[in-house]
Amino acid sequence: KQEVTQIPAALSVPEGENLVLNCSFTDSAIYNLQWFRQDPGKGLTSLLLIQSSQREQTSGRLNASLDKSSGRSTLYIAASQPGDSATYLCAVKGYGQNFVFGPGTRLSVLP
Amino acid sequence: ETGVTQSPTHLIKTRGQQVTLRCSSQSGHNTVSWYQQALGQGPQFIFQYYREEENGRGNFPPRFSGLQFPNYSSELNVNALELDDSALYLCASSLSTGNNSPLHFGNGTRLTVT
């Protein structure tokens, strides 16, 4: 059974810092991994999807990497802004499965 | 392009009652998945519908049921509500059941069971 964990559970940084969020999964037999952002009480906004054959994906200030063999993904946020404050979740799609989500990392970027 | 819309946004029900939540998928998307998100946790997969048929189910009891209509909109029905059913219910649509189809979520329905 696939299990997804995210470290840290919460993170508070000053504006302008570069930061890294971590996602780990137990079963490396995956099709893809997707990163989402969730604002309080809202739905999830898709940020990046990395297919299993890819090593990384970039969108603006965001860069996500995938190391399938070690069961890890990182989301790198460059030059963080207060508007980046949200919960960030990763989700993994395994063989014959639907997406399994991690519990999220709650990010606060202080002005 | 119209995104995923869910209704209602908030709902309060009493234990033992029944509830129906609704979801309109993003334009062009034929697959709808439902998730339950308890406070402080990641979403848990309930089930998926593709072309009006259930196409996968998570670890939820039969009192959680669903429908998908010819226009690909969907309903989630929960019978005999329990206090633990209080959660944010999220609907996600995707272009197909293909393995690299990203999920697009609505804003969810906040259900409170008292």
pLDDT score recorded for residue B99: 67
Residue A76 forms contact with B (CB below 8 Å):
no
Cα angle value A42/A46/A50 (rounded, 5°):
150
Consecutive H or E run containing A108: strand A105-110
Chain B residues with CB under 8 Å of A43 CB are: 4, 6, 90, 105-108
Mean pLDDT of B2-30: 94
B83 CB-near residues (< 8 Å, 6+ apart): B15, B113, B114
Residue of A nearest to B102 (CA): A49
Asked if B90 lies within 8 A of A41 by C-beta distance, the reply is no
Chain B residues with CB under 8 Å of A30 CB are: none
| Full pLDDT tens readout for chain A, 111 residues | 899 999 999 999 999 999 999 999 999 999 999 999 999 888 999 999 999 999 999 999 999 999 999 999 999 999 999 999 999 999 999 887 789 999 999 999 999
Min Cα separation A15/chain B (Å): 24
